[in-house]
């Protein structure tokens, strides 16, 4: 069965106020084209969850599409902080449910397994936990281990409305390969009510059946498939293209101020019709082919 739709059609299935799990990690496999289309369609009041903050979430927060973020912190590494997220937290315009990488992953894992809660050793004694304890309805609690009597911190599962996952390859049914490390993408998909796959390459189901050991996302969890090359640019997609350092530098500088970020949106999001327009705006095939990954290096 084909689940192929355009990016605009896939984004239109997400109502205001939905909880969206995003696949990005810092500067890798970020759902950038997706974020841009959400902004163009004017979808609002999203809850965004992500294990480690990435550029896709930063763009959505900067554009005012996000009401709440559930994440484990994070930056772009050497290229600096996620300025839009930091600014929104400082100004109190973003509801923040902040955890750590593992506690975020465990919440998705609990959601994926259908468990009512999951115990964890992390967070104890920290001010992260103090802030989580202040959230209503509660997202953390304590139970006694029924076997040893030991007291354990437990976390509430996450069940996002939709996971939006950037992958290297998928068939029309959404059977999808993720190459390279997967961080918590598999748990995000399996915790979510449904998944939108955004794929660099569209392959046949025969190709999937020949190498099923690469398949991380089974098609039966997927509602829509979008085939869109360079849809994670300027972040990297392992084995296909490297991150665009110059463009990320441009984004980093622009996003330092609300005015700069607004100009960035005008140029790359509102000022173009769609993703193809964006790719022309960032330098077209000449620029993109320079980012093509070396098959040995993977970047």
Partner 1 sequence: MAEDLEYTSFELMAVTGARELKDGEIVAVGLGLPVVASFLAKRTHAPHLTIVLELGIVDPEPIEIGSGLSDPRFWYRAKIHSSFVDMLGMVLHKGLVDVGFLGGLEIDAYGNLNTTLLGDPEGKYRRFTGSGGGNDLASCARRTVIIMRHEARKLKEAVSFITSPGYLRGSGERESLGLPGGPARVITDKAVFGFDPETKRMRLEAIHPNTTLEDILSNMSFQPVIPSHVPFTEPPTAEQLRLIREEIDPDRMYAGS
Binding site for partner 1 (CB under 8 A): 25-28, 51-54, 71-79, 81, 85-87, 89-90, 98-103, 105-106, 109, 120-128, 150-152, 179-187, 235-236, 238, 242-243, 245, 293, 297-299
| CB of residue 35 to partner 1, shortest distance in Å | 17
* CB-based contact 241:180 (threshold 8 Å): no
Tokens of 273: 């019709």
| CB of residue 82 to partner 1, shortest distance in Å | 9
Instruction: Assign 127 to helix, strand or coil.
Output: helix
* CB-based contact 200:167 (threshold 8 Å): yes
Nearer to partner 1, 53 or 62 (CB): 53
Nearer to partner 1, 20 or 109 (CB): 109
Nearer to partner 1, 27 or 43 (CB): 27
Q: Taking Cα atoms as reference points, which of 70, 9, 38, 35 lies closest to residue 233?
A: 35
| CB of residue 275 to partner 1, shortest distance in Å | 22
H/E stretch holding 254: helix 245-254
Nearer to partner 1, 102 or 207 (CB): 102
Nearer to partner 1, 7 or 251 (CB): 251
H/E stretch holding 23: none
Say how far apart CA 214 and CA 180 lie, in whole Å: 10
| CB of residue 73 to partner 1, shortest distance in Å | 2
| CB of residue 79 to partner 1, shortest distance in Å | 6
Instruction: Assign 37 to helix, strand or coil.
Output: helix
Cα–Cα separations (whole angstroms), residue 100 to 16, 22, 105, 106, 165: 27, 16, 8, 10, 21
């Amino acid at each position: 069965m084909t689940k192929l739709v355009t990016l605009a059609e896939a984004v239109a299935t997400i109502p205001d106020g939905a909880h969206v799990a995003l696949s990005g990690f810092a500067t890798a496999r970020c759902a950038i084209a997706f974020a841009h289309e959400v902004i163009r369609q004017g979808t609002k009041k999203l809850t965004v969850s992500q294990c480690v903050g990435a550029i896709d979430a930063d763009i959505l927060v900067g554009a005012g599409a996000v009401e709440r973020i559930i994440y484990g912190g994070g930056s772009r590494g050497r290229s600096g902080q996620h300025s839009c997220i930091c600014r929104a937290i400082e100004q109190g315009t973003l509801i923040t449910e902040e955890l750590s990488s593992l506690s975020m992953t465990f919440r998705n894992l609990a959601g994926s397994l259908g468990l009512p809660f999951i115990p964890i050793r992390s967070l104890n004694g920290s001010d992260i936990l103090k802030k989580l304890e202040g959230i209503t309805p509660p997202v953390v609690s304590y139970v006694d281990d029924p076997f040893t009597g030991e007291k354990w911190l437990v976390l509430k599962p996450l069940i996002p409305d939709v996971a939006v996952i950037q992958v290297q390859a998928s068939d029309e049914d959404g059977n999808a390969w993720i190459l390279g490390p997967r961080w918590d993408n598999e748990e995000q998909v399996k915790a979510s009510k449904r998944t939108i796959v955004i794929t660099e390459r569209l392959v046949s189901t025969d190709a999937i059946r020949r190498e099923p050991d690469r398949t991380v996302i089974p098609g039966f969890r997927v509602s829509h498939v979008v085939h869109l090359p360079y849809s994670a640019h300027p972040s990297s997609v392992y084995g296909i293209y490297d991150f665009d350092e110059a463009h990320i530098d441009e984004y980093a500088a622009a996003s330092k101020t609300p005015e700069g970020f607004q100009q960035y949106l005008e140029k790359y999001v509102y000022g173009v019709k769609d993703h193809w327009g964006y790719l022309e705006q960032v330098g077209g095939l000449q620029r993109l082919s320079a980012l093509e990954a070396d098959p040995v290096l993977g970047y």
